[in-house]
Structure formats: C-alpha cells, structure tokens
Structure 1
Amino acid sequence: MSFVRDKFSSKFFFFLVFAFLLIHVPIIGNYVKIINTLIHESGHAFFALFGGHVERISLFMNSEGATYSNQSTWIGSFFTSLAGYTFASFMAFLSFLLIGKKQQILLIDILLAFIFLNLIFWVRNPYGIFWLCSFAAAFLFLLIKGGQGFRDHLLLLIASVLLVDSVQSSYEILIISFVQPHAAGDAENLAQLTHIISAPIWGSFFFLQAIWFSYYGLKRGYYKIQN
C-alpha cells in the first residue's frame, strides 16, 4: 500500500511541477495557459447571461482574455465580476475530482463543450478562433490516436495546468491589488461595486479561494485514485 501511495504521490507531484514549468516556456507557455483563460472568461460569460448580454470574448496571444458584456442590474454585474477567478478555480477542482472518480470521458466532454460554445457564440478575434480550432483539433487527434493510458495522462496534465495557472493568476491579481489597485481588473471592479470592500480584500479572496479549491481538488483526486 505504501508503494502505491508513493507512486501516485510522485505522479501528482511530477505533473504539477511539469505544468508549472510548461506554462513558463516562452510562446508555448502562453498557448497552453489559454485553457485556463478560456475557463475564466467563460465563467464571466455564463453569469453575464443572467440579466445581461454577452457581446464577445477575446483570447489573446499573451494568454490574457476579455469578456465584453452588458448588465442591467447591480447583482448581475457583481456575480459576473466575481465569476472569473472562482469559476477557473472550481474547474481545476472539478477536473481532479472527475479524474479521481475515473470519469475522464465526462471531463473530455466538458472541455470540448467549453471550446465549441465559445467558438460558436462568443469568440470572434482571429487569434482566439485560431486557438480554439487548433487546440480542439490537437486535443481530439491525441485522444483518438493515443491509448487509454495516454489519454489519462493528457487529462491529468490539463488538470494540472488549470490548477497551477488558477493559483498563479489569482496570486498575480492579489499582488496587483495591493501595488496598483486601479489596475487590478476583477478585484477593482468588485471594489467599485461594493464600495466598502477594497480591491486588496477582493484580491486576497481570489487567492484564498484558489488555494482552497486546489487543496481539495488534489485531496479528492489523490485519495480517489490511490484507493
């Protein structure tokens, strides 16, 4: 039992470290990180649909993204601004949970649903369309040509990228919210909406929820797999 535990512990550690290194490789890293950007911007878009309208989503070569939407209510604006980082962290958690429960096919369906929903309804800028088409094509090719073991490792790598980048991006917004609050994106939007809660507090919230989702995602995935 201890050998099995050590084996899976090593595998999880390897994939997390590899994901961290991969997203910092020039050019390739930005391309890979857009999977987390896609989830982040989709979170904004999903919540913007409640009482509002999504005009478009843009995905950029530097791995950043933007969701352009109109909201008619305060509560709609609040949850739309709140959704990006929290939805990305939740998806990292859900990915490890599904892998732990041997529900890799469901995870594949969810990832492809995000890609095709954005391609059909929201993403209109050239690089965004290129990324969605190229990632979907490569993802499907690798899944079809690779065996079950390869598929499972590919999904574990994607889950690791989602987790690592969700924590890193929330840490970056935490630092920005303290150093340059007015440039803190979603944290500053929420500060303007709530007035009494400052951008650094929202930045801290984004970082803490990312850590919480990461911890429980790894815990659920790790213990499910080894048992």
Structure 2
Amino acid sequence: MKLLIKVLVFLVLAIILTKLPIAGKYFAVANTLIHEVGHQLASILTFGKAHEIHLFSNTEGVAYSSHQFWIGKFITGLAGYVFSSFMACTFFFLIYKGRYSMVIYILLAILGISLLFWVRNVYGFFWIITFTAAFVWLLWKAEGLIIEYVVLFLVSVIFIESITSAFEIMYISFKTPLQAGDATSLAGLTRLIPAQAWGILFFVQALYFGWLAMRKFKPT
C-alpha cells in the first residue's frame, strides 16, 4: 500500500510537470528518445539500417532509417509507440521489485547507445549529455531514498507521456489524418487500413501496457 501511494503521488506530479512549458518538455523528451530508439531497434532487427535520431525541445523526434523489405518498414513503423509503452511497463515492474538502480542503468545504456550511434542534432546532444551527467551524479553521490524518488518521478513521466502521446496521435489521426506521424506512415504502407485505425491501435496498446504496469500495485 505504501508503494502504491508513492506511485500515485508521483504520477500526479508527472501530470502536473508535463504541463509546464520548459521543464515539462525537457523531461518528456525521455519518452521521445525511447520511442525513437524503438524505431531504430526494429530497423536493425528486420535487417534494415538505423541512421539518425533527432530530438527537439518541443518533445518531437524523428528516427531516420532505411529498409530492404516492406515488412521491415511496417514493423519499424509500429515499434515506436509499442516500445515506449513496453519500457514504461518494464520500468514500473522493476520499481515494484525494488530495482531502482537497474532502471537507471537501462536508461544510461539507451542514452549511451543513442549518443554513440544515432543522435545527431544539437538539442539531442545537449539533452543526452545533461541527462547522462545527472544519472552519473545520481549513482555516484546520491543516497538510496533520493535515487528511489528520482526514478519514481522519471518513470512516472515516461509512463504518462507514453499514454498521452498515443492519445494525441489518435486524436490527430482523426483531425488531420495526413499529418498523424506513424499512423499516417502505416496507413500509406497498408493502403486499406486508415490512419485512424492505427491511431486507435496505438492508444489501446498504451492503455493495455498501462494497465499491466498498474495492476502490480493494486491493494491486496
């Protein structure tokens, strides 16, 4: 019950923070990076090439990749929202198990690989370097309770963003279906399945992973 209350408190804080114009967007980019890394990993796993990732201060991101096969391009298009939802769920599972440092190590691995191989724009460099420095300091200097609260806060932000970004793409797919990012790309690839259907799918899977994450913390 104590952990459940902590999680709920930090989820509320994450909702409030992500509404702030500067700090909120800065922290929300964590979910953007995970989303774009999902695209790049899918590219590699389907025998394509992962080229670059660009991160922007408005929380938008772009992953550039190329593919030999249609199925690779299709899976890569699906992967972004699914991967960010899956990782948010995984992080909460680790929190439930008390593995707070493991969350930081996984995020550091994502940051390091992205910096070395993919992120190539100025804001992306700035964001990754500052986030990495904060994590290194945290592991080096901070005590257990501080690490716990920082991880709870950051994972809550990633969790909230994984759901709200999926909802936003669903909303955009109905309002302006030709500008709905991954939903538009998948609609172009599949022809018969419209962007709206992909937008709904992205939101439903985000809710499903959200439910999987939260059910661990339900009172017994």
Moved over 6 A (4+): none
Q: Which amino acid in structure 2 is aligned with residue 154 of structure 1?
A: V
Cα distance in structure 2, aligned partners of 1:36 and 1:56: 17
Give how far 1:105 is off.
2.5
- 3-state SS of 2:74 partner: helix
Cα distance in structure 1, aligned partners of 2:147 and 2:195: 41
Provide TM-score, normalisation by structure 1.
0.93
Aligned to 1:16: 11
Cα distance in structure 1, aligned partners of 2:100 and 2:32: 21
Provide TM-score, normalisation by structure 2.
0.96
Q: Which amino acid in structure 1 is aligned with residue 176 of structure 2?
A: Q
Contact kept, 8 Å, 2:92 with 2:155, in 1: the verdict is yes
Is 1:40 aligned with 2:35? yes
State which drifts further: 139-148 or 77-86.
139-148
Cα distance in structure 2, aligned partners of 1:144 and 1:24: 31
Q: Which amino acid in structure 2 is aligned with residue 195 of structure 1?
A: R
- 3-state SS of 1:55 partner: strand
Q: Which amino acid in structure 1 is aligned with residue 119 of structure 2?
A: V
* Structure 1 segment 121-200 matched on structure 2, within 5 A: 121-200=117-196
Cα distance in structure 2, aligned partners of 1:73 and 1:199: 21
Aligned to 2:97: 101
Aligned to 2:80: 84
Cα distance in structure 2, aligned partners of 1:32 and 1:12: 18
Cα distance in structure 2, aligned partners of 1:211 and 1:200: 17
Cα distance in structure 2, aligned partners of 1:70 and 1:59: 19
Give how far 1:192 is off.
1.1
- 3-state SS of 2:51 partner: strand
Q: Give the counterpart of 1:26 among 21, 26, 36.
A: 21
% same residue: 44
Give how far 1:56 is off.
0.6
Give how far 1:150 is off.
1.1
Give how far 1:61 is off.
1.2
Give how far 1:106 is off.
2.1
Deviations 1:29-55 (A, max 9, x none): 111011000000000000111221111
Give how far 1:13 is off.
1.5
Aligned to 2:64: 68
Cα distance in structure 2, aligned partners of 1:219 and 1:147: 28
Cα distance in structure 1, aligned partners of 2:134 and 2:105: 15
Cα distance in structure 2, aligned partners of 1:219 and 1:152: 20
Deviations 1:65-102 (A, max 9, x none): 00011111110000000000000000000000011112
- 3-state SS of 2:105 partner: helix
Q: Which amino acid in structure 2 is aligned with residue 94 of structure 1?
A: T
Q: Which amino acid in structure 2 is aligned with residue 41 of structure 1?
A: E
- 3-state SS of 2:184 partner: helix
State which drifts further: 183-192 or 101-110.
101-110
Aligned to 2:55: 59
State which drifts further: 74-83 or 17-26.
17-26
- In the alignment, structure 1 segments of 5+ residues that lack a partner are none
Deviations 1:204-226 (A, max 9, x none): 00001001101111222x25xx7
Q: Which amino acid in structure 2 is aligned with residue 194 of structure 1?
A: T
Cα distance in structure 2, aligned partners of 1:10 and 1:106: 22
Q: Which amino acid in structure 1 is aligned with residue 52 of structure 2?
A: R
- In the alignment, structure 2 segments of 5+ residues that lack a partner are none
Cα distance in structure 1, aligned partners of 2:36 and 2:14: 21
